[in-house]
Amino acid sequence: MAQNRVLVVGSGIAGLTAALDLAEAGVFVDVIDQYAFPGGQGIRLSCKATDTCVKCGACGVDDRLGNALKHPHIRLMTGSGIQDVRKDNGFNVRIRQAPGFVDPNRCDDCGICLSACPVEGGILQGTSGHHRPFYAVNESACLYVKDKSCTACRDACPTGAIDLDAAEKTESIHAGAMIVAAGFSIHSPFEKPYGYGVFPNVMTSPEVETVLKRRARLVRPSDQSEPDRVAFIQCVGSRDAKLNHLWCSGYCCGFALRTARLLRHRRPQMHTTIFYIDIQTFGRTFDAFYKETRESVRLIRSIPGDIYPSENESLKITYLEPDTGETLQEDFDLVVLSVGMIPPAGLEALSKTLGLRPTPEGFLGDGNGIKPAGVFPAGAVTGPMTLAEAAAGGAGAAWQVLRYLKNSQR
Amino acid sequence: MNKTALIIGSGTCAKDLAETLAASGVSVLVAGVDGCAPAWGPGRTPNEASALLEIMDGAKIRFITGTAGGFTVEFADQDRRIRREVRDILIAEDPVPQVNGSLYGLTEGAGVVSLSAFKSMLNPDSGNSEAFESLSRVAFLTGALDESLPLIARDVMQAALDLQQNKGVQAYIFTGNLKVAGQGLETLSRNAKEAGVIFIKNTERPPEIVQAGDESITITYPDEVLRRPSVLNPDLTVVDETPLPSPRLKTLGDLFELETGPDGFLQADNIHRLLTFTNRKGIRVVGPARGVFPPVLIASEIAHTALSLSRTKDAETDEKNKARIETGKCVRCLTCVRICPYRAVALAPRPVIAAAACEGCGICAAECPCEAIAFDTFPSTATTGAVEPESEAGGNRSGASDFIPHVTVFCCSRSAVPARNMARAMNGGFPEGLSFIDVPCAGAVSRLHLLNALSNGADGVLVVGCHPDNCHSGGGTLLARGRSDGLKMLLPRLGVAHDRLAFKNLAANMGAEFSQVLEAFMAHLESLGPNPMK
């Protein structure tokens, strides 16, 4: 019966939290995610602990995903999107699920498909023990899907786990309410004078997370060596009037300070520098953490101008020294851009389908005065926020959904 | 079974929580720990759900007994003792704002006010509009010497914007790091700047603030553009307030044996203590009782609490994962009572596991000196270390020797097991010779487990547990490390190299590190050779 079934769009921390709360209350939850692997952006984060936990919350996403996958009231569908929605005593939602190219019963995670694939990003790799199978064919990049011109992965797979002719599926779900927990996407900083995409050793924060996760060390893309001098540049794509990104993304100061501290702990000879505007508060013991980190990480209150190439693929950063006003230059082996959050891919279309109206900034905000009945936004899709805030938002939305379902039964 | 929720608090948060719960159909009893229940104010009665909302005013809380699902609370009202049965306990104490005047060397008076007092002045209902006619310059101090908070920055910027736009007063905001991580804060800061508010941010060289005998204030600060010190004499200086944990929280923490955070709030700084949960099932901390949070987050917490409590069916207790005390062996030393992080061992009168509160961590079993506590889900000490190593294809092995070390790896279910799954997915398998024993918490691995593993043929024993501060059981990982460190000192006396035993902290998402740790340990054991105890 529809009154006991809820559709959650997005399997990040907000969606998973909402789904678990609803499931515990006896509601059946379908969670759909447009990407191949569940867990949203949070599941891609690496652990920043040194001797003790630094409470970044990343492992909490893993924990929640594990619980959601086990819960009998929750069904998780990846590679899925909404095709259309009809109001019919609740919502009749038609969902399209991408073909399951990789058979989870046959795949043994050997990864040969990834090496065999000629297209960058044609085969995707998971980031968690809960991502089974660990590899997925990227429908939008795959050459076979495009014009049947390549079968390299299928041919190379030793267990015959890949079926490139697998068909997409559509199904209709009748849900009493919906939670939109579509999260966010990451700003791509090509417009900045930092050489992103041109200089190999300029990376974004999510790229650093991926390297740390796969390699347990940070290495320079150019030569896989560990850098001695690392610069973090904050607020890339956030607090930016030119881009009309008038928000603070909330996670980046925590990322930079925790990562810089971790790098120094693992490799004490490394020098880390953070270029910033204002350091934001994070966690519950921020003052002590900030004080301790400043002893080993250099903080410069200035956002760099141009970055030039230097020898051995290093980068020369130019910046205005805050006290004297001089223009200085300094070389770094690796530059990390702390990129901001932007509204998630596909939000415009989803908003039209559901009757939501994003704010001028593109996030859902507090509904902008328009609140279609039975549809509840939660998490970072409403505006940039941290993992903890998104989890709380998911919990809040679950409560609103339960009340709504109860009231609509009368 | 009684489904009443006891809300302990004396202020706004307790009131909001009580009203929300009562409106959701939950019976609520509201009391203050020292007898001070929230005042609903003259003429403001609790809302229409008053049949479900009972206020116990004037009665102090003396103690509680019981466990999740059924607590007994004893109140003292002068000479009377009142006992009430409740299902859940919610602590919602308002914070105590500390005016930061003394931080800047200022005393409140005519020229210096707190932010709350200033906000009241700005309130159009306060009838204070003439007060602003005599002001031309107002300085706000927030995070100029310490760190501010987004919720304080919001109040300061809104007040400054109001002054600038509506009252024709020049506002100055002195701060270090401007806190804008929060919905709408960046836009607010830009609007304030455009309206003419002057922001003076100094992290390296804070402003000098002097209050003269006649109460006039002089602020000397480095000006970024002029590159020399500038002086401001504001007509009024507004200092912010830091919300501090209420002193009642310490009383409650002791009374209920709850974990306290490093900041004095009633929740450990541990990501496993999500939202309103504490180390004790059935007892929650809401909003300002657990930390400093913006109103929108507190509203979500209250909503989440209402959701959990308005469930009509109680969560079923999974009997399988609980500790069992074998009464024939128990000598009533009460170690389990003291060591349980969840306070799940009751005295009735002999030690009895309260199944509703037991999280199955296994720490009690590991600490019990008589091995009187058993679990169904992982091996007792007697059966450990009958080492039958798994043989999984894949993985790396260094070394050309024929000796394949047999390694017993105790894996904490919350960190090592997920990390192992991730490692297996990334690398396709593990080297030969490994035998994994999964435990609920590293704290469940006792000294006997470790010794038996070694004496039964393991060449090396590795314990993998969570990082300190990330242990769901609070201190389980620290106990485990302590046992391992202690045993390492004894091993040489048995003729065994101490580094055949190792302890490692990992998190659930550290798959790559898990593989690296195993490889390094195996390589080291290869160089040590077979266990002489075999």
Task: Please provide the DSSP assignment of A5-23 as one string.
Answer: EEEEE--SHHHHHHHHHHH
Which CA distances in Å does B208 have to B218, B224, B230, B238? Answer: 8, 15, 11, 15
Place of tokens 């002045």: B121
Q: Is the pLDDT of residue A89 over 90?
A: no
Q: Which residues pair with B499 in a beta bridge?
A: none
Q: Is the pLDDT of residue B386 over 50?
A: no
CB within 8 Å of B197: residues ≥ 6 apart: B157, B160, B161, B163, B164, B171, B172, B173
CA count, 13 A, side-chain hemisphere, B239 = 23
Asked if A319 and A276 count as a contact pair (C-beta separation under 8 A), the reply is no
| Cα Rg of chain A, angstroms | 22
Asked if A8 and A181 count as a contact pair (C-beta separation under 8 A), the reply is yes
**CB contact (8 A) between residue A284 and residue B467:** no
**CB contact (8 A) between residue B424 and residue A389:** no
Asked if A170 and A95 count as a contact pair (C-beta separation under 8 A), the reply is yes
Asked if the ipTM is above 0.90, the reply is: yes
Q: Is B510 on the interface with A (CB under 8 A)?
A: yes
Average pLDDT over residues A221-231: 97
CB within 8 Å of B65: residues ≥ 6 apart: B71, B72, B346
**Which among B503, B165, B472, B528 is positioned nearest to B341, based on CA atoms?**
B472
Reduced to 3 states (helix: H, G, I; strand: E, B; else coil), residue A256 is helix
Q: Is A407 on the interface with B (CB under 8 A)?
A: no
Residue B193 burial (10 A CB sphere; 0-12, 13-18, 19+): middle
Searching chain A, which residue's CA lies closest to the CA of residue B270? Answer: A55
Task: Please provide the DSSP assignment of B212-254 as one string.
Answer: -TTS-EEEEEE-TTT-SEEEE--SEEEE-EEEE--THHHHHHH
Q: Is the pLDDT of residue B392 over 70?
A: no
Q: Prior bond to B247 cis, omega within 30? A: no
* pLDDT reported for residue B34: 87
Distance of CA B257 to the CA centre of its chain: 14
pLDDT confidence band for A3 (50 / 70 / 90): confident
CA count, 13 A, side-chain hemisphere, B350 = 10
* pLDDT reported for residue B76: 92
Between residues 59 and 88 of chain B, which touch chain A (CB distance below 8 Å)? none
Structural domains in chain B, sorted by start:
5-95+245-311 (3.50.50.60), 97-242 (3.50.50.60), 319-377 (3.30.70.20), 378-528 (3.40.50)
**Euclidean distance between CA atoms A266 and B475, whole angstroms:** 25
> Token pair for residue B163?
């002054």
Q: Which of B147, B304, B467 sits opposite A396 (nearest CB)?
A: B304
**CB contact (8 A) between residue A399 and residue B304:** yes
A:B CB pairs within 8 Å: 197
Q: Prior bond to B349 cis, omega within 30? A: yes
Interface test with B, best of A20, A252, A281 (most B CBs within 10 A): A281
Sign of CA dihedral A75, A76, A79, A81: positive
**Which among A26, A399, A396 is positioned nearest to B315, based on CA atoms?**
A26
Interface test with B, best of A45, A63, A235, A400 (most B CBs within 10 A): A63
Residues of A in contact with B23 (CB under 8 A): none
Q: Is the pLDDT of residue A230 over 70?
A: yes
pLDDT confidence band for B391 (50 / 70 / 90): very low
Q: Is A281 on the interface with B (CB under 8 A)?
A: yes
Between residues 108 and 147 of chain A, which touch chain B (CB distance below 8 Å)? 108-111, 126-132, 134
Q: Is B219 on the interface with A (CB under 8 A)?
A: no
Asked if B500 and B454 count as a contact pair (C-beta separation under 8 A), the reply is yes
Q: Is the pLDDT of residue B495 over 80?
A: yes
Searching chain B, which residue's CA lies closest to the CA of residue A363? Answer: B183
Q: Which residue has the higher pLDDT, B275 or A350?
A: A350
**Euclidean distance between CA atoms B388 and B480, whole angstroms:** 23
**Which among B63, B20, B17, B62 is positioned nearest to B38, based on CA atoms?**
B17
Between residues 199 and 228 of chain A, which touch chain B (CB distance below 8 Å)? 213-216
Q: Is the pLDDT of residue B291 over 70?
A: yes
Residues of A in contact with B315 (CB under 8 A): 24
**Which among A131, A110, A163, A105 is positioned nearest to A40, based on CA atoms?**
A131
pTM above 0.90, yes or no: yes
A401 φ/ψ sector (left φ>0, alpha ψ -120 to 50, else beta): alpha
Neighbours of B37 (CB within 10 A): 22
Average pLDDT over residues A66-82: 96
**CB contact (8 A) between residue A399 and residue B177:** no
* pLDDT reported for residue B309: 85
**CB contact (8 A) between residue A399 and residue B425:** no
pLDDT in tens, B155-172: 999 999 999 999 999 999
Residues of A in contact with B185 (CB under 8 A): 248
Which of A136-145, A205-214, B289-298 is predicted with the least confidence, judged by mean pLDDT?
Answer: B289-298
**Which among B28, B83, B31 is positioned nearest to B57, based on CA atoms?**
B31
Neighbours of B241 (CB within 10 A): 19
Reduced to 3 states (helix: H, G, I; strand: E, B; else coil), residue A402 is helix
Q: Which of B262, B414, B467 sits opposite A285 (nearest CB)?
A: B262
Interface test with B, best of A135, A212, A248 (most B CBs within 10 A): A248
* pLDDT reported for residue B321: 84
B334 φ/ψ sector (left φ>0, alpha ψ -120 to 50, else beta): left
Asked if A215 and A46 count as a contact pair (C-beta separation under 8 A), the reply is no
Which CA distances in Å does A262 have to A185, A232, A337? Answer: 25, 13, 17
Q: Is the pLDDT of residue A367 over 90?
A: no
**Euclidean distance between CA atoms A244 and A246, whole angstroms:** 6
> Token pair for residue A85?
């929605």
Average pLDDT over residues B474-500: 94
**CB contact (8 A) between residue B262 and residue A253:** no
Question: SS3 string of B141-157?
Answer: ECCCCCCCCHHHHHHHH
Q: Is B57 on the interface with A (CB under 8 A)?
A: no
Task: Please provide the DSSP assignment of B334-364 as one string.
Answer: -HHHHH-TT--EEESSSEEE-TTT-----HH
- Dihedral angle at the C-alpha atoms of A382, A129, B322, B447, nearest 10 degrees? -130
* pLDDT reported for residue B373: 93
The winner for highest mean pLDDT among A169-178, B368-377, B446-455 is: A169-178
**Euclidean distance between CA atoms B56 and B479, whole angstroms:** 41
| Cα Rg of chain B, angstroms | 30
- What is the least distance, in Å, from the CA of B441 to any CA of chain A? 15
* pLDDT reported for residue A410: 62
**Euclidean distance between CA atoms A354 and A357, whole angstroms:** 9
Percent of chain A scoring above 90 in pLDDT: 91
Place of tokens 């809401």: B286
Strands A315-320 and A307-309: antiparallel
Average pLDDT over residues A84-111: 93
pLDDT in tens, A299-329: 999 999 999 999 999 999 999 998 888 999 9
Neighbours of A2 (CB within 10 A): 17
Which of A86-100, B41-55, B221-235 is predicted with the least confidence, judged by mean pLDDT?
Answer: B41-55
Q: State the Cα angle at B145 between B139 and B147, rounded to 5°.
A: 100
Searching chain A, which residue's CA lies closest to the CA of residue B313? Answer: A25
Asked if B266 and B249 count as a contact pair (C-beta separation under 8 A), the reply is yes
- What is the least distance, in Å, from the CA of A227 to any CA of chain B? 19
Q: State the Cα angle at B80 between B75 and B83, rounded to 5°.
A: 40
Q: Which of B306, B469, B511 sits opposite A55 (nearest CB)?
A: B469
Average pLDDT over residues B314-337: 85
Length of chain B: 534
